[in-house]
Structure 1
Amino acid sequence: MDRIIEKKKWNSKKIMTIAGITAIVALVAGSIFFTSGKSKLNVDVERITISEIKKGPFQEFIPVNGVVMPLTTIYLDAIEGGRVERKFVEDGATMKKGDPILKLANTDLELSLANQQTSVFDVLTQMQISRSQAQQNTIGKLNQMADVDNALKEADRIYKLNKKLYAQKAIGLQEFQSSENTYNYQLRRKKLASDILKQDTISVSKQLQQSNESYANMKATLELMRKKVGDLIVRAPVDGQLTSMDAEIGQSKNKGERLGQIDVLSGFKVKVDIDEHYLSRIYNGLAGDFTFADKTYKLKIKKVYSQITNGRFQVDMTFDGKVPAGIRRGQTLQIRLALSDETQAVLVSKGGFYQQTGGSWIFKLSDDGKTAYRVDIQLGRQNPDYYEVMQGLQPGDKVVTSSYETYGDMQELVLKK
C-alpha cells in the first residue's frame, strides 16, 4: 500500500527567501532611521573660531580716515595774468601779512598804466589853462564893473547937482534932462554888468566843479591802474605758512589761476571722507575719537558737506579739548566716528558666519563642548567689532563665528580636537 510522505516546512529555498526579505526590510528601516535624524559634520576645532557671548558696553561707530588740515586756508589766485619774473620765497615759508611772494610781468598792463598817467597829466594841464583863462576873464569883468561903478557915481553926482541948479533956474531943462538920462543909463548899465558878473561866477564855478570831478575820476582810474600793476606782486594776505606753491620763473599765469595758499597756523581741523550710505545719520556735533602717541583725543563734526563725489561726502571735524602735540598738516588719522551713545548690550563677535546666515541663525556649542547645533537668533546694531544680540543667545554661551561656507545644510557640527 502507498505511504504518505510528510512535506518539510523549512527547506533551504524558503529560508533564503525569508532571509533576503528580512535583509531588505532591515536595510530600508536602517536607511529611514539614519536619514530621519539630524545631518552631522565632523569639524576640526583648530580650524574654526569659537567666541563667547558677553554683555558689555556697546557703541555703534564706523571707522573713517581723516586728514589734518589748517583751521583756515587762504587761497592765492593771480589777480592779473602775467609771466613769473621773480620768486621772493619758496614753498613752506612762514609769511607775515604783506610780505611779497612772487612778481609777475605784464607789459600790456604796464603800458596801459603809462598811457593813463599821460592822460591824467594832460587833463590836469588843460584844467590849469582853463582855470587861468577863467580867472583872467573874471578879472576883466571886475574891471568893467569898476568902470561902471565909477561912471554911475559920476552920473549920480552930476544929476543931483543939475537937479538943484534947475530948481534955482540956473540951468535949462535940456541940460537937466541930459544929466538925468545919463544917470538912468548908468543905472541900467550897472544892473546889466552885475547880472553878467553873477552869471560868470556861476559858470566858472560849474566849470571848475566839472573839471575837478573829471580830474578826480581820472585820478581814481589812475590809482586803480596802479593797483592792478601793484597786484603783479603777489603778497601774503594774512600771517601764515605758504603751501602748495605752483609757480616757476618764466611760467605764464592766467588771470584767476591758483598760485598757492596760505595756511593760518592758529589751529587745525580734520577733513574726513564718509560713505554716502551714512549721510542721513551724520550731523553737526557728532563725536569721534582717535589714538595718537598712545593717547586718545576727541573730535566733533563742525560742518557737513552734503555734495557726494564718487559715492562719498566730506565733513570737517575740530578738536574737542586738547590738540595733540606734534601733529602736522597732512597727517592721516584713523577715527572712530560714533553713531550712537554707549549702552549695555549682549554682544557677539563679528565673523564670517554672517555672510551665510544673514544674522538669522548661528551654531551654538553644547554644554559639553563636543557639538554645535543651529539656533535662531536676531541681531540689531553693529560696529566693526561686534553685533548686538536682540534674542536667541545669552551671556556665557559659546558660538562658532567663523565662516559657514563649507557646511551646506548641516544641522549639527561634531567638534573634533
Structure 2
Amino acid sequence: MDRVIEKKKWSKKRILTIAGVLGLAALIAGSIYFTSGKSKLNVDAERITISEVKQGIFQENIPVNGIVLPLTTIYMDAQEGGRVEEKYVEDGAMMKKGEPILRLSNTDLQLSLVNQETQVYNLLTQMQIAKNAARQNTITNLNQQTDVDNQLKEAERVYNLNKKLYEQKAIGLQEFKQSENTYNYQMEKKKLSNQTIDQDKMATAQQVDQATQSYQGSQNALNVMRKKVGDLIVRAPIDGQLTSLDAEIGQSKNKGERLGQIDVMSGFKVRVDVDEHYISRIYNGLKGSFTFAGKEYKLEIKKVYTQVTGGRFQVDMEFIGDAPQGIRRGQTLQIVLALSDERQALLLPKGGFYQQTGGNWIFKVRENGSGAYKVDIQLGNQNKDYFEVVNGLQPGDKVVTSSYENYGNMQELILKK
C-alpha cells in the first residue's frame, strides 16, 4: 500500500539558494555603503597636521615680490641717430651732469649743418648788400633834397625881390609872374622831396626789419642744427650712476632708441608686482613690511600703475624711515602687503587641505581624538598664515589642515597613533 512521503521544508538546495541571495544582498548593501560617501579610512595621526582654531588678531595681507630701484631714474634716448664712434665711460660709472658718455657720427646731419651755415652766411651777405644800397639811396635823396632846398631859397629870394619891384612899378607883370611861378614850383618840389625821403625811410626800415627777421630765423635754424650735431655726443643729464648702457663701438642707433639710464643715488624705492585680482583694493597709502638682516622694515605705496600686463600690475613703494644698510639696486624683496586694518577674528591656520576642498569643508577631529569627520565651513579673507573663519567652526576646534590628496571621497578618518 502506497504512503504519502512528506516533503522537507528546508532542503539543502533551498538553504543554499537562500544563503546565496542573502550573500548577494549583503554584497550589494556593502557596495552601496562604501560608495555612498559613508566610507572611512585609517590614517596614521603622525603623518597628518592637526591645527587648532583660535580667536586672535587678523589682518588681511598678501605676499608679493618687489625689486629695489633708485628713487629717481633718468632715461637717456638717442636724440639723433648715428653710429657709435667712441665710448668715454663704461656701465656703472659715476657721472657728473654734462660729462660725455659716448659719441655718435651722422654724416647726413653734419652735411646739413654745413649747408645751413652757408645759407646763413649768404643771407647775411645779401642783407649787408641791401643795407648798403639803402644807405646809398638815402644819401642820394638827401643830396637831391639839398639841391631842392637851395633852389627853393633862390626862387623865394627872386620872388620877394620882384614883388617889391613890381609894387614900385620897376618891373612888369610878366617878370613878376615868372618869379612867382618859379617859387611855387620849388615849393611843390620841396614837398615832393620830403615825401620821397619819408617813403624811403619807411621802405628802408621795412626792408631792414624783414631782412633781420629772415636772418634771425635762419640763425635759429642754424642753432637748432648745431644742437642736433652737438647731441651726437651723449652727455649725463644729471649727477648719478650710469646703468643699463647699451652701446658698442660700430653699432648703429636709431633716433629715440634707448641708450641707458642715470640712477640718482639719493634713495631707493621698491617696484612691486601684484595680481590683477587685487587691483580694486590697492591704493596709495597701503603699507607693507619685510625682513632684512633680521630686522623688520616698513614700506608705503606711493604710486599705482593701473596697466595690467600678463595678469599683473605694478606699484611703487617707498621706505618709511631709512632704507636698510647694504641694500642694492636690483635686489628682490619678499614683502607682506596689508590690505586691511587689524581686527579680531576666528583664525584657521593655512594648509594643503584648501587645494582639495576650496575652503568649503574640512575634517574636524573628535574630542577624544579617535577620528575626524567631514564638516561644511565658510571661509572669509586670508593672509599668509591664516584663513578667517566665517561659519562652521568654533574656538578650540581641532581640524586636519594637511593635504587631502589621498582621501578621495572619504567621509571620516580613523586616526591611529
Q: Same fold (TM over 0.5)?
A: yes
Q: Is the alpha carbon distance of 1:171 and 1:345 closer, same or farther for their aligned partners in structure 2, counting shifts above 3 Å?
A: same
Q: Which ranges of 4 or more aligned residues in structure 1 deviate by more than 4 Å?
A: 13-33, 35-39
Match of 1:217 in 2: 217
Question: How many Å apart are 1:24 and its aligned residue?
Answer: 9.2
Could you report, residue by residue, the CA deviation over 1:233-280 in whole angstroms, capped at 9, with x for unpaired residues? 111122221111011112111111111111122222211111222222
The residue type paired with residue 277 of structure 2 is H
Match of 1:234 in 2: 234
Match of 1:300 in 2: 300
Match of 2:153 in 1: 153
Match of 2:334 in 1: 334
Match of 1:105 in 2: 105
Question: How many Å apart are 1:20 and its aligned residue?
Answer: 8.7
Task: Report the Cα distance in structure 2 between the residues aligned to 1:233 and 1:28, rounded to whole angstroms.
Answer: 95
Match of 1:346 in 2: 346
Question: How many Å apart are 1:177 and its aligned residue?
Answer: 2.1
Question: How many Å apart are 1:401 and its aligned residue?
Answer: 1.5
Could you report, residue by residue, the CA deviation over 1:273-328 in whole angstroms, capped at 9, with x for unpaired residues? 11222222222222211111111111122222222212211122222233222221
Match of 2:416 in 1: 416
The yes-or-no answer on 1:263 pairing with 2:263 is yes
The residue type paired with residue 398 of structure 1 is K
The residue type paired with residue 201 of structure 1 is K
The residue type paired with residue 68 of structure 1 is V
Could you report, residue by residue, the CA deviation over 1:137-177 in whole angstroms, capped at 9, with x for unpaired residues? 11111111111111111111111111111212222223222
SS in 1 for 2:146: helix
Task: Report the Cα distance in structure 1 between the residues aligned to 2:19 and 2:196, rounded to whole angstroms.
Answer: 149
Match of 1:318 in 2: 318
Question: How many Å apart are 1:339 and its aligned residue?
Answer: 1.7
Match of 1:248 in 2: 248
Root-mean-square deviation over aligned CA pairs = 2.9
Match of 1:7 in 2: none
Match of 1:407 in 2: 407
Q: TM-score, normalised by structure 1?
A: 0.89
Match of 2:361 in 1: 361
Task: Report the Cα distance in structure 1 between the residues aligned to 2:326 and 2:162, rounded to whole angstroms.
Answer: 111
Q: Is the alpha carbon distance of 1:165 and 1:397 closer, same or farther for their aligned partners in structure 2, counting shifts above 3 Å?
A: same
Task: Report the Cα distance in structure 1 between the residues aligned to 2:182 and 2:246, rounded to whole angstroms.
Answer: 89
The residue type paired with residue 368 of structure 1 is N
Q: TM-score, normalised by structure 2?
A: 0.89
Task: Report the Cα distance in structure 2 between the residues aligned to 1:250 and 1:61, rounded to whole angstroms.
Answer: 51
Q: Is the alpha carbon distance of 1:370 and 1:170 closer, same or farther for their aligned partners in structure 2, counting shifts above 3 Å?
A: same
Task: Report the Cα distance in structure 2 between the residues aligned to 1:28 and 1:210, rounded to whole angstroms.
Answer: 117
Task: Report the Cα distance in structure 2 between the residues aligned to 1:357 and 1:336, rounded to whole angstroms.
Answer: 25
The residue type paired with residue 263 of structure 2 is D
Question: How many Å apart are 1:19 and its aligned residue?
Answer: 9.8
Q: Is the alpha carbon distance of 1:178 and 1:21 closer, same or farther for their aligned partners in structure 2, counting shifts above 3 Å?
A: closer
Task: Report the Cα distance in structure 1 between the residues aligned to 2:388 and 2:60, rounded to whole angstroms.
Answer: 9
The yes-or-no answer on 1:139 pairing with 2:135 is no
Match of 2:55 in 1: 55
The residue type paired with residue 112 of structure 1 is S
Match of 1:162 in 2: 162
Correspondence 1:175-194 to 2 at 5 A:
175-194=175-194
Match of 2:3 in 1: none
Could you report, residue by residue, the CA deviation over 1:357-407 in whole angstroms, capped at 9, with x for unpaired residues? 333332222333232233333322222322222233233222221223333
The yes-or-no answer on 1:119 pairing with 2:124 is no
SS in 1 for 2:116: helix
Q: 100-109 or 349-358, which moves further after superposition?
A: 349-358
Task: Report the Cα distance in structure 1 between the residues aligned to 2:278 and 2:314, rounded to whole angstroms.
Answer: 11
SS in 2 for 1:211: helix
SS in 2 for 1:354: helix
Task: Report the Cα distance in structure 2 between the residues aligned to 1:198 and 1:382, rounded to whole angstroms.
Answer: 91
Task: Report the Cα distance in structure 2 between the residues aligned to 1:229 and 1:29, rounded to whole angstroms.
Answer: 99
The yes-or-no answer on 1:371 pairing with 2:371 is yes
Q: 22-31 or 37-46, which moves further after superposition?
A: 22-31
Match of 1:278 in 2: 278
Task: Report the Cα distance in structure 2 between the residues aligned to 1:376 and 1:181, rounded to whole angstroms.
Answer: 130
Task: Report the Cα distance in structure 2 between the residues aligned to 1:318 and 1:206, rounded to whole angstroms.
Answer: 61
Could you report, residue by residue, the CA deviation over 1:187-209 in whole angstroms, capped at 9, with x for unpaired residues? 12211211111111111111111
Runs of 5+ unmatched residues, structure 2: 1-7
Query: What number of residue pairs does the alignment pair up?
Result: 407
Runs of 5+ unmatched residues, structure 1: 1-10
Question: How many Å apart are 1:23 and its aligned residue?
Answer: 8.7
Task: Report the Cα distance in structure 1 between the residues aligned to 2:168 and 2:296, rounded to whole angstroms.
Answer: 125
SS in 1 for 2:70: strand
Q: 159-168 or 402-411, which moves further after superposition?
A: 402-411
SS in 2 for 1:194: helix
Q: Is the alpha carbon distance of 1:108 and 1:21 closer, same or farther for their aligned partners in structure 2, counting shifts above 3 Å?
A: closer
Task: Report the Cα distance in structure 2 between the residues aligned to 1:162 and 1:87, rounded to whole angstroms.
Answer: 94
Question: How many Å apart are 1:22 and its aligned residue?
Answer: 11
The residue type paired with residue 50 of structure 1 is I
Task: Report the Cα distance in structure 1 between the residues aligned to 2:304 and 2:290, rounded to whole angstroms.
Answer: 19
